[in-house]
């Protein structure tokens, strides 16, 4: 059964989740939201994600938000091995470091550059 991924096409965090799902072999049903039309504020979506953010993953009624958490969840549940998210603590720390760099430094600066 595919997972549902609520996303917007130009979002780097959404793209990261889409790439991770692809690499982990997860069948994904993409559900694009029109944020300009306020689709993230509908009662139906707010039941799924009260923070009204994308990406949001629906895995048969289990909802995960925040791109890094979604990526880790997809790999932990669906990947055939640990090459994307290693089980070795030192190797995993390197992956976690880059995911945190993306969330705390890279993406905010990228967003501020494009959204003025």
Helix axes of 12-24 and 67-78: crossing angle, nearest 10 degrees: 0
Q: Are 68 and 44 in contact (CB under 8 A)?
A: no
CA distance 69 to 99: 10
Neighbours of 74 (CB within 10 A): 26
Known catalytic residue at 67: no
Q: Which of 11, 67, 83, 104 is catalytic?
A: 11
Please list the active-site residues: 11
């Amino acid at each position: 059964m595919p997972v549902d991924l609520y996303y917007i096409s130009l979002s780097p965090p959404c793209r990261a989740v889409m790439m991770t799902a692809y690499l982990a072999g997860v069948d994904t049903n993409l559900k694009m939201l029109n944020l300009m039309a306020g689709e993230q504020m509908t009662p139906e979506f707010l039941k799924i994600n009260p923070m009204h953010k994308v990406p949001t993953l629906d895995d048969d009624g289990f909802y995960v938000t925040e791109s890094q958490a979604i990526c880790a969840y997809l790999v932990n549940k669906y990947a055939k091995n640990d090459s994307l998210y290693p089980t070795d603590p030192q190797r995993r720390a390197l992956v976690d470091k880059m995911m945190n760099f993306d969330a705390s430094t890279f993406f905010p600066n990228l967003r501020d550059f494009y959204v003025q």
